[in-house]
Amino acid sequence: MLDLLDEAFKGPSWHGPTLLGSLRGVTATRAAWRPAKGRHNIWEIVVHTAYWKYAVRRRLTGEKRGRFALKGSNWFARPSAGRTWEDDVKVLVEQHAQLREAVRRLPRRRLRAIVAHGRDTAAYTIRGIAAHDLYHAGQIQLLKRLMPKR
């Protein structure tokens, strides 16, 4: 499970860019670009993926709903006053490390335990967050291609 999380987040992988790899070379200006009004930008996707790493960690550990590193939940409008691109990428990296540690500590027998929605096992949830990283890595790659040339 740790390998799966890491391959989706930072690699190495054979399938193409990982979530972190998709951010290589992205500046704050490029991260804030939107393909159209009302559509998410790369920056918002980064904070969204960080939030869901936090939510999955809580599910796996049984932690009560606490406070994410940033005010809000799920989707966060970016750019935002007082936050830099680098700050928010750091939150993503930190949330991945915390999720990874929770998975590392998870006893093998708990992989079959129900952790959400009355049906989702820990293993299913871990596979899902890895797939979530890859889904959004693909979105980021597409947004980078859609951006006007500098």
Number of domains present in the structure of the chain: 1
Q: Does pLDDT of 150 surpass 80?
A: no
Provide mean pLDDT across the span 105-134: 96
- pLDDT exceeds cutoff 70 at 110: yes
Structural domain containing residue 11: 2-146
Instruction: Decide if pLDDT at 101 tops 70.
Output: yes
Q: Report the CATH number at residue 86.
A: 1.20.120.450
Q: How many CB atoms lie within 10 A of CB 110?
A: 15
Alpha-carbon gap, residue 120 to 126, rounded angstroms: 10
- Token pair, residue 59, equals 């599910």
pLDDT at 103 over 90: yes
Q: What is the pLDDT of residues 47-94, one digit of tens each?
A: 999 999 999 999 999 988 778 999 989 999 999 999 999 999 999 999
For residue range 26-37, list pLDDT tens digits in order.
Answer: 999 999 999 999
Compute the distance between CA of residue 23 and CA of residue 92 in angstroms, rounded to an integer: 11
Please classify residue 43 by burial: count the beta carbons closer than 10 Å to its beta carbon, then call 0-12 exposed, 13-18 middle and 19+ buried: buried
- pLDDT-derived band of residue 20, with 50, 70 and 90 as boundaries? very high
Looking at every residue in the chain, the average pLDDT score rounds to 95
Give me the amino acid identity at 128.
G
Calpha distance 148→32 (Å, rounded): 13
pLDDT of residue 49: 98
Average pLDDT, integer, range 105-132: 96
